[in-house]
């Protein structure tokens, strides 16, 4: 099968790419990226500007799209710039892939995603989920991790402070509040792409703690 990945240079995306390339079920991986991703016989890296995505590239037609795109308001510089990466780009990728006939979309969303939330981050994620559902993919999987665990190069204060606390409290925390390790999220995403369930499916954080 052919997969189209967006966000494959990120913490979760790197794990998704690794699993996709290792899977015998996957013959071709097209990764839309702005960074080199290394060489692999199955990998086609396409260097794109997400503000100017091509209309009619052949790789829009795949068996599944897996999206792990995302940024932070701090890195992006404003709420508007954050929304561009966390809402506009994943939705535009979905539109083009769906128009080309791709039947499956797997989104790395977030715990708390809710289009009616008063919290901007949760509302953005919820609006993306809602608007992706409206595109009519035969299979749409919304993977909603809690705080993501893994080795991140970029310094993020909230994660530096909270990850050790959540790690130490793991035995007494409800599973939904535990850390979601990046490889566990990636495994759930790849399985949802290879074995797509019909309709809109949610994989919640309590299924992603890895324990």
Ligand X SMILES: NC(=O)c1ccc[n+]([C@@H]2O[C@H](COP(=O)([O-])OP(=O)(O)OC[C@H]3O[C@@H](n4cnc5c(N)ncnc54)[C@H](OP(=O)(O)O)[C@@H]3O)[C@@H](O)[C@H]2O)c1
Is 11 among the residues that bind ligand X (CB under 6 A)? Answer: yes
Cβ–Cβ contacts within 10 Å for residue 35, how many? 10
**HSE value, Cβ hemisphere, 13 Å, CA-based, for 171:** 1
Q: Please report, as residue ranges, which positions from 171 to 190 form the binding site for ligand X (by CB under 6 A).
A: none
Count of C-beta atoms within a 10 Å radius of residue 171: 7
The helix (run of H) or strand (run of E) holding residue 19 is helix 11-22
The residue within the footprint of ligand X, chosen from 108, 122, 139, 192 (CB under 6 A), is: 108
Q: Rule CB under 6 A: which of 55-94 touch ligand X? A: 68-71, 85-86
Q: Per CB under 6 A, does 145 bind ligand X? A: yes
CA dist 178 and 173 (Å) reads 6
Of the residues 20, 132, 147, 190, which one makes contact with ligand X according to CB under 6 A: 147
Stretch touching ligand X by CB under 6 A, among 11-19, 56-64, 132-140, 167-175? 11-19
If one counts every other C-beta atom within 10 angstroms of the C-beta of residue 198, the result is 9
Q: How far apart are CA 149 and CA 133, in angstroms?
A: 27
Kindly tell me which residue out of 110, 166, 184, 208 binds ligand X, with binding defined by CB under 6 A: 110
Question: Where do contacts with ligand X occur on this chain (CB under 6 A)?
Answer: 7, 9-13, 34-35, 50, 68-71, 85-86, 108, 110, 145, 147-148, 159
């Amino acid at each position: 099968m052919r997969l189209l990945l967006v966000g494959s240079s990120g913490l979760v995306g790197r794990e998704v790419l690794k699993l996709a390339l290792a899977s015998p079920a996957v013959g071709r991986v097209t990764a839309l990226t702005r960074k080199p991703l290394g060489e692999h016989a199955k990998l086609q890296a396409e260097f794109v500007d997400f503000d100017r995505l091509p209309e009619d590239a052949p790789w829009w037609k795949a068996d599944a799209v897996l999206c792990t795109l995302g940024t932070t308001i701090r890195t992006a510089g404003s709420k508007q710039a954050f929304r561009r990466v966390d809402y506009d780009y994943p939705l535009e990728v979905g539109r083009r892939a769906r128009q080309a006939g791709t039947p499956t979309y797997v989104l790395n969303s977030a715990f708390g995603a809710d289009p009616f939330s008063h919290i901007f981050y949760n509302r953005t994620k919820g609006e993306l989920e809602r608007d992706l559902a409206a595109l009519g993919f035969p299979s749409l999987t919304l993977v909603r991790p809690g705080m993501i665990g893994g080795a991140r190069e970029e310094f993020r204060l909230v994660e530096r402070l909270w990850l050790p606390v959540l790690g130490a409290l793991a035995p007494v925390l409800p599973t939904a509040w535990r850390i979601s390790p990046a490889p566990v999220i990636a495994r759930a995403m790849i399985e949802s792409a290879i074995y797509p369930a019909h309709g809109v499916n949610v994989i919640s954080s309590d299924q992603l703690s890895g324990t």
